[in-house]
Structure 1
Amino acid sequence: MGIDDGLDPGEGTALSPQELLGLDELLEQSQRGSEADDLRELRAFLTRLPMLGPYNAALVQLQRPGAHYVASRSVWAREFHRHVLPGARPLIILRPFGPVDLVYDIADTDGQPVPEGALAPFRIDGSITEEGLTAFTSLLPKAGVLYREEAVGSQLAGTVEPIDPPLTREGARRSVPLRHAVVVSSQLDPTARLVTAFHELGHVFARHLDHRTESTVRPGRPLDLRSREFEAEIVAWLLAARLGIYSPAGEYLAGYVEADGTVPPFSLQAVVSAAGRIESMAGGLAQLARLLRTGQTITDSPAHGPHQEELDLGAWA
């Protein structure tokens, strides 16, 4: 259950990615409550729209607050036996190798009831296994990240640092150079190690660190320490919520909220793009959930389950 690769005939002319505002600009133009309330709503709709990657889920929410379940016109017909109501307004999302796709909320469709378990494959609802954690961390070198576990002390859950110069893996053809090293405390249980890894990867993919090659350095985004930690904590908080696993990240985030509801400066575009990059390493949220449950990739089974759109900004990050 997911998004078609092509636009449905007769949908009209699509906008190019260059004509779409970024999430931060769209958020500034939308009606907002307190920043703390905005974060709670961000978590709610990313959890409510797991069939989309985080970036596209945020795009949908900004266009249609309260959207519950979205799919393209053809997916509603083919997989749910529902039709889009006349005059329904399509929602624009970015698509892999783009430019855009059009989807509709369930409220704009009619037909057979959607099965209650339609979203079940996206959630874990339990603890992470050692096998699942190992399977996930084995994917990190493909994203240029070296992962290891050490007894780093009770006051430190994890760290991330640039590798200078980047390392090339011996014997690996066309391998991505290792540009960042994530170290997680071996004293934590598998679920806590996973959430800590999400936090440190949030630093990497939200561009808090320099991106180094053998000959050049692209500086990270200019943020102070408080904003960098806040963004990374949001990434871990959002991913844990979408997977249905416990994370203390929400408690940590509460410490950043002032009495008037304000929070440190952060970029919505950066945090949801980082979360999407992490999910896409496993092929999407459904595949990531299965990997963490079983330690097996989704391609080893004929039942591939729901497909998740995986662009999540990609080349526009």
Structure 2
Amino acid sequence: MNPKQQKIYTDVNNYFNNILRLKNSDEFQKYLEFLKRVPFQAPFNNTLVFVQNPSLNYYATEAQWKEFGRTIKPNARPEVILMIFGPVEFVFGLEDTEGREITSDSILNWWKESDGKFDENVFHNTVSSCAKIGLSVKIPEPSKYFNQASSIQTKGLAGIETSEIYLNPSYKGNPTYESYGVLLHEIAHELLGHCGERKYKDKKGNTKLLIHNRSNLTKDIAEIEAELTAWIVFGKFGIEKQSEVYLANYVMGKMSAEMFDMVLITKVSGMIFSMSKKDWKPRIPTQREKLRDNLRKNIKILKNHLAKVRANNYE
């Protein structure tokens, strides 16, 4: 991670640290509501934009606003998001654009990832993706499950040494919203490092670090991180898991001086959402691929800049 990225991550976590320190549940609720309004962007970028401008309702790139027949106002102040393996990109809020009138509903419907209906393939694809990073998802017989679970009420377990996730035997059969939510919660525990360091082997047999050990967190912090992660992923599908008011109050009520890692939560949320795709691969790009992608993005930025210069010269 380069120094600029590190500063961004630190600033984001400091922002939420202040919210928690002041027990500002209203501000945290406002953040959760913002995440629901912009499911078309990566969770981390949503968080980054909110930290820059909490009063923003929606945001998009200049090209995306053109899809709505709107252009960027002169002297509009952009917000910054991070591109994957590339430079930053500028985005603008609805109030920074002008043109064809649009409603809030049309924005949400245009960019929604799904229609809010649960697709069983999402569950099965996620289970298959878990296997690619060395995690095994099982729904065992009751006798085996309850030897490990402390209570019949326990809906799922994430193994600390076994790299296994167990779901309650009652979830046998067709996947449901509830079983998928439990699966998300347990995967989050694994990918957030609550069960210890996680590694996986790539196609060449090389060992890759997935997450460092964070098993020293208190149970309350670990549960909040996992629940927030599951909530964000559900929101990406347009599914209502819990109200923002309930979740914000729950987080504020459980928090102590210890801080959860909001940056990691949003990154893991994005990863788990991607794991629902059929052909997902846990792949770390090579240096050559990073340089190639950087070059392409910089060329695109340069072309856009030159086009604006030419347009201004003709006016």
TM-score, normalized by length of structure 1? 0.67
CA shift in 2, pair 1:117/1:137, >3 Å:
farther
Alignment of 1:119-138 (within 5 A): 119-120=108-109, 121-126=112-117, 128-138=118-128
Q: Deviations over 1:112-135 (max 9, x none)?
A: 134744433324434x34444223
Alignment of 1:1-317 (within 5 A): 16-22=4-10, 23-28=12-17, 34-77=23-66, 79-114=67-102, 116-120=105-109, 121-126=112-117, 128-150=118-140, 151=142, 152=145, 154-163=152-161, 180-188=163-171, 190-213=176-199, 218-220=212-214, 222-247=216-241, 257-258=252-253, 265-282=259-276
State the secondary structure of the residue aligned to 1:68.
coil
The percentage of aligned residue pairs carrying the same residue is 23
State the secondary structure of the residue aligned to 1:67.
coil
| Partner residue in 2 for 1:291 | none
Contact in 2 for aligned 1:48/1:68 (Cα 8 Å): yes
Partner Cα distance (2:81, 2:21) in 1 = 22
RCO greater where, 1 or 2, for CA within 8 Å and sep 6 or more? 1
Q: Deviations over 1:132-190 (max 9, x none)?
A: 422332222234322122344641100111455xxxxxxxxxxxxxxx32211241461
- Amino acid of the structure 1 residue aligned with 2:153: Q
How far is the alpha carbon of 1:204 from its aligned partner? 1.8
State the secondary structure of the residue aligned to 1:104.
strand
Contact in 1 for aligned 2:139/2:167 (Cα 8 Å): yes
Report the count of equivalent residues. Answer: 254
CA shift in 2, pair 1:35/1:137, >3 Å:
farther
How far is the alpha carbon of 1:240 from its aligned partner? 2.3
CA shift in 2, pair 1:100/1:282, >3 Å:
farther
Contact in 2 for aligned 1:236/1:249 (Cα 8 Å): no
Contact in 2 for aligned 1:206/1:273 (Cα 8 Å): no
- Amino acid of the structure 2 residue aligned with 1:203: H
Which structure is larger by alpha-carbon Rg, 1 or 2? 2
How far is the alpha carbon of 1:249 from its aligned partner? 8.8
CA shift in 2, pair 1:221/1:105, >3 Å:
farther
How far is the alpha carbon of 1:206 from its aligned partner? 1.8
**Which runs of no fewer than 5 residues in structure 2 stay unpaired?**
147-151, 201-206, 281-315
- Amino acid of the structure 1 residue aligned with 2:253: E
How far is the alpha carbon of 1:209 from its aligned partner? 2.2
Contact in 2 for aligned 1:61/1:67 (Cα 8 Å): yes
CA shift in 2, pair 1:233/1:253, >3 Å:
farther
State the secondary structure of the residue aligned to 2:159.
strand
CA shift in 2, pair 1:196/1:249, >3 Å:
farther
Partner Cα distance (2:94, 2:176) in 1 = 36
| Partner residue in 1 for 2:283 | none
Select the structure that is richer in helix.
2
How far is the alpha carbon of 1:99 from its aligned partner? 3.0
TM-score, normalized by length of structure 2? 0.68
